[in-house]
Structure formats: C-alpha cells, structure tokens
Structure 1
C-alpha cells in the first residue's frame, strides 16, 4: 500500500478554531491552579514571573511558527527536531515532550475529580475521574470537529466567568488603598533567581502554542494558518494570564494571609465576590478543565500518531487512522488508559514533572531553527539573521535558565525518563547501528 492510499487526517480547522483550540488547551483559568504557590514563592510578584515567562515563550513560539511554516506536519517538536538533527535526536526530543503530554490529561482528570467532589461531596472523587475520562475519550475518538466545537464552547464559558471576576474584583478594590502597581509588576523584592523559579512553574501554562503545532495536518492552509495561530495563542494567552493575576494580587495583596497556598484562589474569590463568586469559579474551573483535557488528549494522541507512523513506536497501535472516524483511535485509547493512573496518584507527584519535558522540547525547537535556517540553508543576512539565529538563541538561553530553575526532584525524574528513552532508541536502532525508521506521508 502506498502512502497516498493510507487514511489521512481530515483538514477541517481554520485560524479562529485553531486559536480557540490552543487557548482551550492553555486553560486561561489555570492561573488559579498555581496562583498561590507562585505568588508565595515570588513574595507577591507573580505578575513579574508571568511577564518573564511570556517573554521566554514568545521567542520559543516564534521558533515554532518558523518551523511550522517549513514543515506543516503533525508531530510538533518531534518532527521539527527530526528534520533538523535526524531521527535519533528527534526521537529523544519527542520522548521528553511525550512525558509532559501523557501526564497532562491524567493531571486534569485528577483536578476534575477533586473539584467535583468539593462541590458535590456525595460524588466520590474516583467517580468524577472515571466519568470525565470516558466522556472525553469518546469525544476525541469521534473526531477533531467535535473537539473544536466543545473546546470553543468551554472557552466562551471561561470568558464569561473572567468578565464577572474582573468586574467584581474592580468593585472590590475601588476606593481601597492599593499597593503601587509598578511595584507589583516590576518591584524589587525577591532576586531574579526566585522570579525565574516562579516562571519555571508557570511555563507549562503556555503549552497551548505547542498544541496548535500538532494539528497542522488537520488545518486548512496549514503553512499560513498554523504559524499565525501559534503567535496569537502565545500573545493572547500571556495577556490573559497577566490580566487575571494582576487584579487577583490587588484584591488580596497580603500573600502571607492565604489559608493554604494550594487553594489560594478560593481566598481571592471570597475577597472579590463572596460565596457567589466562589461557586461560579468552581463551575467555570471544572468546565475549563473539561476543555483543556479534551484538547490535551487530542494533542498527545497526534504526537503518538506521528511517532507511530514513523515506526519509532509500534505502528500497529499508534500509527493507524480509523477508517470511519479518521482519528488515531489506538493512540487515543492508550492516553485514556494512562488517565486511569489519576485514581492512584497525588497531584503533587504528577505536577512536579510537567515542565521538564516542555522545556527540553522548547529548547530543541529553538536549536532546530538555528540548524535548519542558519546552518543548513545559510540564511545569514538581514531579517533572516534575526529570526534564524538571534531570536532562537535568546529562546535557548531563557529556556535553559528556566529548566535549571526546576526542582531537583523534577530534574532527577525527568532525566531518568530521558535515559529510558535512550535505551528504547538503542533497542530500536540495534544499539545505534542503523537509523530510526521514517515514513513520510504527503
């Protein structure tokens, strides 16, 4: 059977739906997931951490956009790194990112179970996890159009909540003595190393732009649409994170007064709008989690599909498209099964690994731009020198700094995962005596 006769992903997405897909993955309300932890760590300077993180992610998003224009294929960092550095490096980059993506749905299912149980104590946490997992898995099997519709609707619901929150927060702080806004955003306090540590925790919030790059083969005019969507998702998402975190800090400026750093969002909601806003927040947050996990399960299944299609993981499971639904059903089911681990692990254990794979992948994509455009294609004059060398070099430096700001446990477990991937690559290539298999589909 030739490549042209095999089932292909359906190209149905446009620029607005691709942007909404990425924003849904980013989950704008994720600000409140890590708000207390980061604000305490940075001594009330979470806004500074978000601004630093947005700066680092913008350079990386620009590299993603540049590679997406050159290679409008499913597979994200795996494809870009493979094209620039070869199959082995591409495999290890994809392997590192796969840790992040495989855990993201599991963590979100866990959070859904926690919040449903908090709102409805008669519903066990395990029931919330299982029901949401089965529903989302079925939805992602049916197809990308249904995922896009659901994601768009849930983003709209989050926007309604954010408007209500910002309005009530504005009334709450109106006429009250406030800290100097320039100090909140740029003020001195903790050193830059502490701000970078906070930004390192926040960087996983920007995975939405990477998620957009994985749906290139399901997007119309992908060479034009995907790069634009990547930049728009990064800028809009970063602006939303700053817009939400700033009034949250102003509503309750004393970061030492949180009841619990992990649930500081509830203290902020109580201060801004009382019980009503707390209940509205819970509903909007759970709805946002449904949108995020729908997008994240779709994304990781496309990464596994791209790797399975190339034969670096079992093609019979991961590299096939269902003839009726035209989706990678095998990959989707595997991700769903991993989600059941949420029944047995704590949120702290799973979330400690989130950023490791993302930062490794971000670094590799920045390096891929330098290799592909500056070294291989020798584009070394004018604007090409800026976009092909200067910008990605800054992206690499900032990503490495953020990577080194992670906790020691996250680094140790992440490096162990990379070592496992190296062993898998050795088995795949008969201990590096041959290249990893590759299958290119038009």
Structure 2
C-alpha cells in the first residue's frame, strides 16, 4: 500500500479561516471601526459556523463575511412598506415621521440645548421649544407637558391628581387596547381607586354627580376609540360634566387618545384637543404617535396649576420624554402636514390610478379596498380606496423582499394598498412584486 493511499483525508473544516485572520482583512477592519468589534465578530462567527455545517465552503467564508457586512444595518429593525391600508399601524411602528421630523432626530442625536440656555449659560426648562409648539397649536391650553407615551400620561394624571382617592369612570369606558392591555388595570396599579358609574351602554349625569358628592378626587372621561357601542346608548358630554366638577373643586380629565388638534370631517366622532379644553376639561391627554403624526409620546395640555402639579410629581421624572421625542414633536407641529394626515386624505381616484399603473406592470386585479385609521382611532370608519389583488402565496415572499412589503391576506388573496406608500416608491413596489412573482413561479416549477 502506498503512503499516499494510507494518508487520511483532510477535514475541510480545518481550512476555515481563523477569526484573527478574518478580522485583519482591511474591509472587515473598517467595518469593525464603524460598527463595533462585537457586531463584526458576530458576523464572522456566523460565517464560520455556516462553513462548519457545510452550507458554504471554507473558501467562501471571507466573501460571506463581506456580503453580510455590506447589508448590515444599524439595528435589527427592518424598514417596511406599509401596503395594508391601515394608516396608524401599531405593529409597523404607528405614525411615520415627516422628513422634517426625521431631520430633527438627526440634529438632536448629539449634544443639544434640551435643558440649557445658551444665552445665559444657565439651566432652562426641559423641552421649552416643544412645549411652545404645543401651546401654539392649542391656544386654549395654559400649559403643556410631554411624557414618554399615552399610558404614562394617564398613569401620571390619575396618580398626581387623584392619589389613593377615587377617580370616577363610566363603565362604558373601561377599555382594553392591544395585547390585552387594560386601562383600568393601569390606573389601579398606581394606587388610585376606580369608581365605576353607569351601565355599559348608558351613563347619565346623575351617575357622575352622585359619585362626585360621595367624595371623588377626580373624574376621567376616556374616548372609546377602538370600538363602538350602538343602539340604546347614552353618554355625558364633557361640557355637561365640567360644571359639577368645577363646583366640587375636582379636576375633569379627558383622554382623547388619538391626538387631533382640530376637528376632522373625515372622522366626525373623533374628539380633538382644543374642543375638549373649550368644553371645560381641566386636563386633556393624547398620544403623539397617532393622529398627531409624530413620535411616541404622551401629550398633556390644560390648566397651568394642574400641569405644575404633574411636573412636580416624582413619576414625571421617570416618564419624561427624551430629547429625540421632543425634537420630533416640535418639528411635527411646526412643519408641513405629517404623512399620517396626508395618507388619510388621499384622493381615491388618484389611488386608483396608481394601483392601475401597478397592475399594468405586474398583473393582478384592481379591487375596492377600504383603508382604516388604525392605532385605536376612528373605530369602524372606512376610508374609501383601492388595492391590487394578487395570489395569497406572494404575501410571505413580499414580506421577505427588499424592501419588505406588508400587505393584507384576505379571501385567498394578497391585497396591496398603496395609500401609505409614497408615490415615488411605486416603481420599487413594482420591482419587488415582479421579483416575488418570479420566485413563486420558480417554486411552482
């Protein structure tokens, strides 16, 4: 037997490039300087593991590392194109920011004068410019406060204004929102006691006044934004509640949820901040990332003395908005119409024309499709529009595309609604759909 025949076959895994050799590659080293050594080490080890499993050859490891680094993003969050027709889509990040608000985020990413007066060199009120923008947008408010989200605004308001006393709420407003989150549980967790009044479908002024006379610390109205009760119903307008609350010397808190700064004919049942204050609310709460069209934040507007009480409460520090949210809110309020409101007001005929052009390029059927506000706003209000109907099998391929496109699967079809996609990206949508169709055809063959 020859020596060559007796020699054992070399294990190909021994040829996998060593970690230090890969990290020394000039392109990999530049990536490590930009992204951080820990991130790049993870990419290197993932490529080595692929080679150990036999998915790639040892000679392909370096190229696999460079390819992965070339497509690596700053975070694991992937941008998506929202083709669902749901404008404020909670699972897709709610409100998309305007270009001006995006620029504000970049400008605020470094050191800023968020709590500093450049003229005097002294400490200043945090987020003064964002506060001023809120007050300019809602002149009926005496003061404003911004916290990190809508739930924080509600928790702070009830804790600071009612404490361990009773807050009065109609039974028809004991709301559960997404993921099983119940607002009554949030309020109760702060130590505030809830005094339920009325029935699920009907609450009268006398129900409130009995509770107020019984020693309530505050009255809370919560807009039933994500559902409707119809039929034999009754509720008490804010304007009617304001008098008894004022006579008893207790605050009337109104949580409108969605954050409209003016009545919108498209959403006639959706309350707005100025109207709630004009009707006598002492404090109004709203979310920044719904119909306001800005970043996640909790907006509190109302009487100066009440805002001062909230700002002094220890929870205010734990719930305060960061500099990025403050910058984006200011830019949203002072800039052009935010994308959320622009998408809601999309002309149906223009939407149909865009959808027909897409169909002419990739096939499919143009069908009527009602959009929705989403995010717990405009419950059951359809927004007339159109969608492109494609085979349902394309939905996962589009979600895995570049860019990812999220549509709606219904009745065995994948529906793509262009309402929330900027028109300049229609060509990108067409290319991604065409690629998905080709991939689906290849799998079928």
Scaled by the length of structure 1, the TM-score of the pair is: 0.27
Larger Rg: 2
Scaled by the length of structure 2, the TM-score of the pair is: 0.27
Higher relative contact order (CA 8 A, sep 6+): 1
Higher percent of residues as strand = 2
Higher percent of residues as helix = 1
